Amino acid sequence: MQRLTGRTALITGAGSGIGQATVKRFLQEGARVVAVDVSTAGLQETRLQAQQAGIDARLTLLEVDIAQEAAVREQIGAAIAATGELDILVNAAGILRASHTHLTTLEFWNTLLAVNLTGTFLVTRTALPALLASGRGVVVNFSSTSASFAHPYMAAYAASKGGIQAFTHAIAGEYARQGLRALAVAPGSIASGMTRDPGLPADADMSLFAKLVPALGQGMGSPDCVAAVVALFASDDGLFITGTELRIDGGTHM
């Protein structure tokens, strides 16, 4: 399918996991992609995978720490200006860390919110003028099943993702009459570096995770499963969808 031909997308978290899979899916569907990540090595791996698939001609790499306001304003702002247009923003960047809540420091809490929630806000704020100018702008934010279901030891992460979900609803309502669509995906039970090692406390009670198994019985899902939904949301196939989120977890939380 070539549902995104002629469209320009900016995708954060593009150096690994679901963000990387989304870059590849968008390139396959014909989009021009600005791939953003804090990791140089991750971005180079994204480029390598695109080259191997023969879809790297429309790929631009941009190394930015999205938690830094000045960097987002200057570097991402410049990248958007250089493309001359922006139709799609995918805020996939995020970090996952775990801790006993009663032992969680303010620094730990603030770091998670700075990257996950504030970073999403900063990038969205910078991109909104160009998205509105396109007349068909789409924002796809990354929430998580942790925003709605109990994930032990992940209170800070869950709070950041719940904030993203609320933020998505707010901007969907604010800009709908200007043609902007805003949606969120809520992945769960997806295999990635983030989920393989969430940094659980050494004394974590693993019996608390008994309900975090996909009902489909196929084990953890691939990042490609999420990337496919993001592509649908961003394309005209999702033209009548806004102000909502979709859980993608293989039935873990039915």
DSSP code at position 207: G
How many C-beta atoms lie closer than 10 Å to residue 103's C-beta?
Answer: 9
Q: Is 153 part of the annotated catalytic residue set? A: no
Closest to 19 measured CA to CA, from 112, 93, 119: 93
Q: How far from 42 is each of 12, 28, 36, 166, CA to CA, in Å? A: 12, 19, 10, 29
Three-class secondary structure of residue 83 per DSSP = helix
Q: In what order do the strands lie in the sheet with 138-142?
A: 59-63, 32-37, 8-12, 88-91, 138-142, 181-187, 244-248
| Structural tokens at position 1 | 């399918």
Which is the catalytic residue, given 109, 121, 153, 157? 157
Closest to 123 measured CA to CA, from 165, 189, 79: 79
Taking the C-alpha atoms of 31, 36, 40 and 46 in order, what is their torsion angle to the nearest 10 degrees? -30
245 in Cβ contact with 143 (< 8 Å) = yes
Catalytic residue IDs: 157
